[in-house]
């Protein structure tokens, strides 16, 4: 009797947990945990223990052997999966490779992949050695450009209380191959290096370690002055050098596998070596020397632009390229994918390929600062795929993505925003995976509710929606190479007219669009700022010529007359109108697609996405009307008669104040606030 009651309670609890689990909190890791698979290993360790447990609970197939063994074809994190007479063997030279192999196998199972059915061996090695998330999390748990609640790191409770989410976070990252995390904002508080906080950092590092996740910290270059009242932070000063050496030693005593430092220096008001007449290389090298005995690295950001006359898009190159060859081997210069700042579309940063004697790494932004925050669907893999066409993974050993993770139950705010976290990990492992394949994987593992066996009526349409979503955002926000038309401060809505008395010109949209009676766009050709010259010759020639410049970058590189004839035969103005309208129509199509998905997805998730799509559709019209009505004042041309007419007055749009800050927009809070 007692047993029956326990069984009943057990069943109730497990069905409750299944119901609970449809809130997105299980991410792409939703496989049933009741498999009882037979698993053996030739060594025991915490990491191998995790791999064993994952397989025992979820693997439905033949017995698995985990084999730690050197293998010439495998890098440290790589693995081989092969069929043997006893079942399956996962081999890796390192424990973490066994865990990655385990997640790979379970992914193939979840996807019912044919790879499993054949006798083929699977061999996987990651393209980048370091696959790192950058959290822009502040110590008060706000997140700069975070749209999914608060920071996961509960500094007040650490180190004594460890949220379950810490391990769930590590597991999710390991499942897609991410192996590093920078815990705090690049606008770094010196406090993170205090003895008290290092204990907290250690507690997190201890949780992450078995999952192969190394912890890194963003550091404030003036830390020695703030924390210990040194009179200077000059990187050539003996006391400063000593301070950093001691601090580094203190960190490694607590965290022997600490990864290193990420530094934003002399950028947007952050302190740095230039404050003391030193170069970025001198600053980075001083930190690199402190880290070297422990094999730590410095990731030194190239996101710099001073209030000078030089075109902002040229500045990182102008400042960093001359330093090529001056950085220590354990410094990696971290460069945003584009030359300005994570816009919906940018050409790649010309720093890539131009610093032959320096390690570089790309920084992507997973959080959608400039792509509709967590209100808009914008699947970013196609954007990153575009980047890899210009900057192949073979040229670098590391890659970083600015995280979109917070305390929201589903981690990322918008249910589809998880796909960007997933895609970042998968592409960091293998940049050759197509956006299509990754969308396919993510959808199948994440979005369909339990019990749905036939997804064929909806799957292709949902995938299409994801694949087209980023281009839709480009169309309704900033087509044809337009960029930075965002409202002051929050980077959510349009404000191409924005004027802020006394503001730096390069913080205002008019600096970028340069609309006037003649035309629109930033002349970066040889007759303008000549930013084209920073690219390799063949590309420079292509971009420099109005006739050959790809239209998606046209207004990035040229100031183009309104009546210029585009490839379609239409005028630039008409083409611009059509792009804005196409973006709006696309989102309306997404609404229809999503409504058809109702029977296939969890009811709450359905409603959530449906309501966010309504916001996205309204925002798309807002963007279109704001930009077209504003630019029309210059073009003086009619909006083509066959496209939808504006439904707003420009005067009204100019009065819109969202009243949100740079720092925190918990998801859902943007819903038409003050509109
Ligand atoms: C962390 C942009 C963002 C800032 C961010 C900065 C950076 O300017 O708007 O919030 O600061 O990039 O990448 O350092």
Is the beta carbon of 341 within 6 A of some atom in ligand 1? yes
Is the beta carbon of 342 within 6 A of some atom in ligand 1? no
For residues 21 and 226, the model is more confident at: 226
Is the beta carbon of 486 within 6 A of some atom in ligand 1? no
CA 506–ligand 1 middle distance (angstroms): 14
Among the residue ranges 14-23, 62-71, 463-472, the one predicted with the least confidence is 14-23
Is the beta carbon of 587 within 6 A of some atom in ligand 1? no
DSSP-assigned letter for residue 531: G
Q: What angle do CA 208, 209, 210 make, to 5 degrees?
A: 100
Say which residues have a Cβ less than 8 Å from residue 251's Cβ, sequence separation at least 6: 193, 198, 201, 217, 258
pLDDT at 19 over 60: no
Which residue from 341, 346, 504, 507 has its CB within 8 A of the most atoms of ligand 1, so it is best to mutate? 341
User: What pLDDT band is residue 410 in, cutting at 50, 70 and 90?
Assistant: very high
pLDDT at 170 over 50: yes
Residues with a catalytic annotation lie at 268, 341, 369
pLDDT at 662 over 80: no
pLDDT digits (tens, 9 = 90+) for 320-368: 999 999 999 999 999 999 999 999 999 999 999 999 999 999 999 999 9
CA 341–ligand 1 middle distance (angstroms): 8
Of all protein residues, the one whose alpha carbon is nearest to atom 8 of ligand 1 is: 341
* SS3 at position 130: strand
Summarize the confidence of residues 65-81 as an average pLDDT: 97
- First-last CA distance in the chain: 61
What does pLDDT average to over the chain? 94
User: What pLDDT band is residue 395 in, cutting at 50, 70 and 90?
Assistant: confident
For residues 565 and 85, the model is more confident at: 565
pLDDT digits (tens, 9 = 90+) for 262-318: 999 999 999 999 999 999 999 999 999 999 999 999 999 999 998 788 999 999 999
Same fold, 27-124 and 130-434: no
pLDDT at 665 over 90: no
Is the beta carbon of 492 within 6 A of some atom in ligand 1? no
CA 432–ligand 1 middle distance (angstroms): 28
pLDDT digits (tens, 9 = 90+) for 525-572: 999 999 999 999 999 999 999 999 999 999 999 999 999 999 999 999
Residue 603 tokens read as 């009811």
State which ligand 1 atom lies nearest to the alpha carbon of 402: 13
State which ligand 1 atom lies nearest to the alpha carbon of 264: 14
Q: What angle do CA 377, 478, 531 make, to 5 degrees?
A: 125
- Spell out the domain ranges in the chain: 27-124, 130-434, 474-522+559-672
pLDDT at 309: 85
- Half-sphere exposure of 486 toward its Cβ, with a 13 Å CA cutoff? 21
pLDDT at 363: 98
Summarize the confidence of residues 373-388 as an average pLDDT: 98
Is the beta carbon of 364 within 6 A of some atom in ligand 1? no
* SS3 at position 122: strand
Percent of the chain at pLDDT exceeding 70:
94
User: What pLDDT band is residue 11 in, cutting at 50, 70 and 90?
Assistant: very low
Per DSSP bridges, beta strands 398-402 and 130-134 are parallel
* Nearest partner of 184 among 217, 227, 148, judged by Cα: 217
Please provide the DSSP assignment of 290-353 as one string: HHGGGT-EEEEE-----SSSS-HHHHHHHHHGGGTT-S-TTEEEEEESSSSSS-SS-PPPTTTT
Which residue from 138, 143, 145, 218 has its CB within 8 A of the most atoms of ligand 1, so it is best to mutate? 145
Peptide bond into 159 cis (omega under 30): yes
pLDDT digits (tens, 9 = 90+) for 619-661: 999 999 999 999 999 999 999 999 999 999 999 999 998 765 4
CA 187–ligand 1 middle distance (angstroms): 8
Instruction: Give domain 474-522+559-672's CATH number out of 3.90.1330.10, 3.30.2000.10, 3.40.50.300, 3.50.50.100.
Output: 3.90.1330.10
CA 302–ligand 1 middle distance (angstroms): 12
Contact (CB, 8 A) for 62 and 103:
no
130-434 folds as TIM Barrel (3.20.20)
Of all protein residues, the one whose alpha carbon is nearest to atom 2 of ligand 1 is: 341
User: What pLDDT band is residue 117 in, cutting at 50, 70 and 90?
Assistant: confident
CA 27–ligand 1 middle distance (angstroms): 27
User: What pLDDT band is residue 670 in, cutting at 50, 70 and 90?
Assistant: very low
Percent of the chain at pLDDT exceeding 90:
89
pLDDT at 672: 38
Architecture of domain 27-124: 2-Layer Sandwich (3.30)
Summarize the confidence of residues 36-60 as an average pLDDT: 98
pLDDT at 118: 67
> How far apart are alpha carbons 446 and 459 in whole angstroms?
12
């Amino acid at each position: 009797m007692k047993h029956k009651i326990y069984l009943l309670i057990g069943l109730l609890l497990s069905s409750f947990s299944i119901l609970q689990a449809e809130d997105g909190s299980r991410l792409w890791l939703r496989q049933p945990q009741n498999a009882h698979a037979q698993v053996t290993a030739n060594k025991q360790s915490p990491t191998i223990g995790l791999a064993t447990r994952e397989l025992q609970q979820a693997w439905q197939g033949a017995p698995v052997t985990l084999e730690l063994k050197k293998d010439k074809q495998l890098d440290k994190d790589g693995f081989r999966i092969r069929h043997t007479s006893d079942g399956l063997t996962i081999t890796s030279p390192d424990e973490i490779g066994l865990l990655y192999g385990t997640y790979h196998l379970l992914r193939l199972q979840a996807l019912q992949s044919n790879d499993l059915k054949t006798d083929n061996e699977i061999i996987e090695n990651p393209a980048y050695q370091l696959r790192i998330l950058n959290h822009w999390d502040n110590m008060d748990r706000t997140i700069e450009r975070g749209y999914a609640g608060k920071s996961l790191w509960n500094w007040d409770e650490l180190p004594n209380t460890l949220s379950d989410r810490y391990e769930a976070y590590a597991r999710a990252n390991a499942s897609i191959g991410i192996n590093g995390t920078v815990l705090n904002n690049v606008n770094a508080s010196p406090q993170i290096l205090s003895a008290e906080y290092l204990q907290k950092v250690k507690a997190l590092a201890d949780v992450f370690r078995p999952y192969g996740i190394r912890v890194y910290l963003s550091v404030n270059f003036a830390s020695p002055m703030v924390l210990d009242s040194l009179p200077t932070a000059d990187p050539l000063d003996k006391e400063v050098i000593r301070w950093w050496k001691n601090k580094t030693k203190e960190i490694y005593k607590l965290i022997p596998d600490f990864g290193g430092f990420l530094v934003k220096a002399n950028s947007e008001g952050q302190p740095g070596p230039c404050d003391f007449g030193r170069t970025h290389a001198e600053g980075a090298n001083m930190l690199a020397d402190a880290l070297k005995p422990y094999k730590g690295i410095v990731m030194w950001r190239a996101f710099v632009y001073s209030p000078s006359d030089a075109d902002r898009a040229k500045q990182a190159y102008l400042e960093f390229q001359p330093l090529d060859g001056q950085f220590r081997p354990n410094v990696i210069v971290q460069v945003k994918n584009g030359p300005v700042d994570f816009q919906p579309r940018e050409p790649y940063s010309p720093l890539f390929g131009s610093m032959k004697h320096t390690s570089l790494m790309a920084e992507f932004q997973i959080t959608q600062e400039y792509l509709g925050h967590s209100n808009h669907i914008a699947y970013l893999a196609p954007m990153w795929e575009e980047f890899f066409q210009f900057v192949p993974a073979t040229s670098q050993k590391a890659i970083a993505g600015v995280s979109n993770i917070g305390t929201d139950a589903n981690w990322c705010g918008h249910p589809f925003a998880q796909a960007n976290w997933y895609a970042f990990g998968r592409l960091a492992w293998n940049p050759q995976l197509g956006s299509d394949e990754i969308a396919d994987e993510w959808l199948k593992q994440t979005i369909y509710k339990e019990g749905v066996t036939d997804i064929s009526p909806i799957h292709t349409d949902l995938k299409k929606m994801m694949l087209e979503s980023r281009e839709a955002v480009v169309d309704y926000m900033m087509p044809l190479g337009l960029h930075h038309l965002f409202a002051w401060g929050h980077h959510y809505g349009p404000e191409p007219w924005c004027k802020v008395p006394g503001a730096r010109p390069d913080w205002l949209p008019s600096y970028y669009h340069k609309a006037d009676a003649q035309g629109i766009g930033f002349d970066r050709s040889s007759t303008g700022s000549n930013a084209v010259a920073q690219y390799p010759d063949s590309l420079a020639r292509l971009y420099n010529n109005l006739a050959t410049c790809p239209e998606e970058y046209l207004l990035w590189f040229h100031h183009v007359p309104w009546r210029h004839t585009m490839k379609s035969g239409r005028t630039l103005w008409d083409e611009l109108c059509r792009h804005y309208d196409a973006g709006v129509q696309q989102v309306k199509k997404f609404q229809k697609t999503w409504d058809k998905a109702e029977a296939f997805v969890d009811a709450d998730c359905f409603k959530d996405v449906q309501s966010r799509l309504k916001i996205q559709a309204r925002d798309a019209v807002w963007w279109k009307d704001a930009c077209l009505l504003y630019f029309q004042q210059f073009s003086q041309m009619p909006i083509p008669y066959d496209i939808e007419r504006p439904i707003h007055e420009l005067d009204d749009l100019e009065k819109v104040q969202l009243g949100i800050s740079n720092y925190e927009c918990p998801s859902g809070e943007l819903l038409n606030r003050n509109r």
